[in-house]
Structure 1
Amino acid sequence: MKIAVPTRGTVVDDHFGHCEFFTVYSIEDNAVQSKERLDSPTGCGCKSNIASILQEKGVGVMLAGNMGQGAVNVLNASDITVVRGCSGDIDELVQRWIKGEVKDQHILCDHHDCGNH
């Protein structure tokens, strides 16, 4: 299982489409085996090829903060489950997800500059 988190520094980036980079975690036997940095494409996340890149890497879950419905649709079409409403330190977030403590909050981006895509 692989999990991706839109990242800024060491925390969840509040805006998936413009994150600094993605952190991709490999999970086996309910433990983090490795993590890697994946640079974010330029431009809007839902209009880039990031979903197909993540799918090729074997990512099955995206733990995100805010995300527009367009991005959710693109990720879902690539067999990536989206969990919105995440925040805080990325390593702590992934540990909480492994424990089953993180659920989708159905938070959609409604920033004026992203067009709720």
Structure 2
Amino acid sequence: MKIALPTREGRIDNHFGHCEMYTVFTVSENREIVGTETIPSPQGCGCKSNIASVLQAQGVVVMLAGNMGAGALNVLGNHGIQVVRGCSGEVKTVAEAWLKGELADSGVGCSHTHDDGHVCNH
């Protein structure tokens, strides 16, 4: 299994669509992290980018994120990626907490308007 986290300077980036990169952890059947890789973040809004298909192609099935709006949430869900919002902190610590069952989706998203005028609720 693989889990991804929007990352900036080793921590969960609170703004999913504008993160520096995605940290992807490979997890064993024993729920232990056995590998780490990073995927550069595409430019632009997360709900308008190809990141969901890229992550899906890499085998990612869970996204541990800070804030995320309905647009990105729907796109990831349509690609078979479960989203857990409300995460914060150092990415490996967050991933380990999720693996221990200590995290649940906050159900809270965010919304704002981009310079180009569209609102993607993230």
Identify whether the pair has TM-score above 0.5, normalized to the shorter chain.
Answer: yes
Q: Shift in Å at residue 112 of structure 1?
A: 4.6
Give me the TM-score of the superposition, normalised by structure 1: 0.96
* Cα RMSD (Å): 1.2
Q: Which residue does 1:22 correspond to in 2?
A: 22
Percent of pairs identical after alignment? 54
Tell me the secondary structure at the aligned position of residue 33 of structure 2.
Answer: strand
Count of aligned positions: 117
Structure 1 segments of 4 or more deviating over 3 A? 111-114
Mark the structure with the bigger radius of gyration: 2
Tell me the secondary structure at the aligned position of residue 52 of structure 1.
Answer: helix
Q: 2:75 aligned with 1:74, yes or no?
A: yes
5 Å matches for 1:57-68? Answer: 57-68=58-69
CA distance in 2, matches of 1:30, 1:77: 25
Give me the TM-score of the superposition, normalised by structure 2: 0.92
In structure 2, runs of 5+ residues without a counterpart are none
Q: Shift in Å at residue 111 of structure 1?
A: 3.5
Residue by residue over 1:57-94, the C-alpha shift from the partner in whole angstroms, topping out at 9 and shown as x without a partner, is: 00000000000100000000000000000001111001
